[in-house]
A and B are shown apart, each in its own frame.
Chain A
Amino acid sequence: MIGLHRTMALVALILGGAAAASDGSGPAGTRRLVADIAAGRDWTTAVALAERIKAGERPSIFDLRGQEEFQRFHIPSAVPATLLDLLETRLPRSAFIVVYADGARAAQAWTLLRMRGYRDVFYLREGLYEWIARVHEPALPVDATPTERADFDRRAALSRYFGGQPRIDVPRAQMPAGYWTAGGDLGHRPPVATALLVAAIRRRGC
């Protein structure tokens, strides 16, 4: 029996030691982080987020841009936050979390939350610009194909759900571009573009 106990103790110490030597717990493991980034599991589209909200999910949405910009316009149900806030937030481990910002901050926040052990975390690749362009004010080009029309109809319904304003008969040259554009525009929208859009919304009232 003593031999068995000694074996059990040894197994426990080995498994414990290996745990300490590993990259930390599952979702924070740096290998898994890198794999998720490579596989595109770190971001979500604004449209997918909108659909999940409409289906009844209640994500915790964090706006990392700053109080002033937040006040001007933000994704419905978002709250302003800094990276420090995210460091200390105590959401349930299984919470569905989305972060957005201008530029790299959103991806940094994603990494921080994943290292804290949250797993259902995503960011919006083009931040508030993507939400406005794809959900709040979906645009239908003048010469839309049937596929584009069907996609627009779907997003127009989402837009109305969130109190937005779909636009039709938009000249091709003025269609908002982003990574979703057929040609694959991968640029990130500078804060200026977002600010212009927001200013336009505020002039129209919402």
Chain B
Amino acid sequence: MTRHADPYLAGVGIGGVLLAAYALAGQGLGASGAFSTVAAALTAAVVSPAKAAALPALAPYLPDGLASPLRDWLVWELLGVAAGAFASAWSAGRLAWTAERGPRLTPGPRLATAFAGGVVMGIGAKFARGCTSGQALSGGALLSVGSWIFIVTAFAAAYACAPLARRLWL
């Protein structure tokens, strides 16, 4: 199993990828937006495209009444993330069917907390108009004040919650 790469070098590489996104796509990287698109598509499939498009929360994601995640930039970006991650892990011998968890957790509770954490992050990312990729990284590099507010509050909240969650991780 290969060692992980130096974080600074990986960071510079990611910075370069972000620049490529600015230059080629006129926008930065992102992630949470793709989940919004998928959620909108699911909603449209369950109720009806017309009803879904009429909902104020979903209108931006259903421009022609039809959400096609397969026409969304961020969805394809995340598919690429998955492909690139798979290739890297495979070449480094790091592929493994497992649920990563702290030493005191069994898989079941771990999956439950992962899901719960995802729910909270999903709501937070909606309010913040993005996540670590879209706001902290991409917006932060463009010096947007809202992105920097996000960086500070997200790190602060994570550090504040850490002592409360020792059982999960330590």
Contact = CB atoms under 8 A, between A and B. Distances in A.
A176 to B, nearest CB: 42
Contacts of B9: 4
Interface residues of B, number: 4
A5 interface: yes
A1 interface: yes
Contacts of B12: 8
**Interface majority SS (helix, strand, loop, mixed), chain B:** helix
Contacts of A5: 8
Nearest to A93: B142
Nearest to B11: A8
Contacts of A1: 6
Nearest to A1: B6
A5 to B, nearest CB: 6
Contacts of A4: 6, 9
Interface in A37-94: none
B25 to A, nearest CB: 14
6 contacts: A1-B6, A4-B6, A4-B9, A5-B8, A8-B8, A8-B12
Interface of A: 1, 4-5, 8
Q: Which 5 pairs from chain A and chain B are nearest by CB? A: A5-B8, A8-B8, A1-B6, A8-B12, A4-B9
